[in-house]
Amino acid sequence: MPPTDLGVQLRGSMQWGELGQDVDYTAWIANGPGFDSTLPQPVVGQTLNPQNNIGINTNGRALGARFRIYPFPLDANLGRLELGASTYDGKWQDSFWFYSWGLHFAYLNHDLQARGEFVETYRQMPPGSGPDNRQGWYIQLGYFLRKVPTTGNVYFDDVIHRLEPAVRYSGVNQHAIVTNEITTTPSVGFNGSPSIFTPHAREVALGLNYWIEPSIVWQTEFDLELPRAGGTAFTFNQAQALLSHPAPTPNDRALLTQLSIGF
């Protein structure tokens, strides 16, 4: 779904069992999904428009919903498990459907945290073009070093106890990518996902979080793109869409760092 949108949202929650056993829901209606309208024609593999604010891309509306359940009672000491499902559906260009749905989990047990998600999308295409289906997923593990034995050096211990190493494996399956949409220039809504560079991206990320404050974290990760082949690349030469089949992607590496401030 787009990271920004304009619409109306309804949400609520309740405890359905013992302490810690909750459910919550979120449902909303917002601007319809859109795709890059600067390309001469719609093709398989286009990315969903990242911004969807007051610049309404279609006259239709999108419907979204998320449901979460927490099955473990707090007193069972099994940790906090969250299971959820979500969907985002609407028509693009007022006539073609775009469906998406996802399943996710998150688990926290003392200093261990794990989370993951599987998402699938279906984009109905104009006559003459096959459907645009995709799947993507990730799983991530992290561990807070709060209980690492102290060394006696107050400053060193303070740094170590604020660290959280993490590892993530992610991947995407899609029929094609559009080379005209590939950009490496950071901007608002910039999508640096490996899925815009290759149809079947697989990535291993090794991360290190440094918690400056409870809601301020400096995050650094080293990404390893695993070699993959398959899929199609579309390139527009003016109005003409050219097809090519990319060779196995190289084992690219990237070092990313960011400061996240929560409010």
Partner 1 sequence: MIPAPRSLLVTLTIALALASHVFALEATPDERKLFIEGAKLWPVYCAQCHNARPGSQFSPAQWDAITMHMRTQSIIPTKNMRAIKEFLQQAR
Binding site for partner 1 (CB under 8 A): 11-15, 19-20, 22, 24, 26, 74-75, 80, 82, 106, 108, 211, 214-215, 262
Cβ proximity to partner 1, 3 vs 55, nearer residue: 3
Cβ proximity to partner 1, 59 vs 215, nearer residue: 215
List the 232-237 sheet strands across, edge first.
176-178, 232-237, 240-244
Cβ proximity to partner 1, 12 vs 250, nearer residue: 12
Cβ proximity to partner 1, 150 vs 215, nearer residue: 215
Question: In Å, how far from its chain's centre is CA 10?
Answer: 22
CA distance 169 to 119: 14
Q: How far is the CB of 178 from partner 1 (least distance, A)?
A: 35
Q: How far is the CB of 223 from partner 1 (least distance, A)?
A: 24
Which structure tokens are listed for 173?
């399956």
CA distance 69 to 74: 14
Which structure tokens are listed for 261?
């401030």
Cβ proximity to partner 1, 193 vs 260, nearer residue: 260
Residues 6+ apart with CB under 8 A from 102: 85, 86, 87, 117, 118, 119, 120
Whether 256 contacts 221, CB under 8 Å: yes
Q: How far is the CB of 44 from partner 1 (least distance, A)?
A: 36
Cβ proximity to partner 1, 7 vs 248, nearer residue: 7
Q: How far is the CB of 15 from partner 1 (least distance, A)?
A: 5
Q: How far is the CB of 255 from partner 1 (least distance, A)?
A: 25
Q: How far is the CB of 70 from partner 1 (least distance, A)?
A: 10
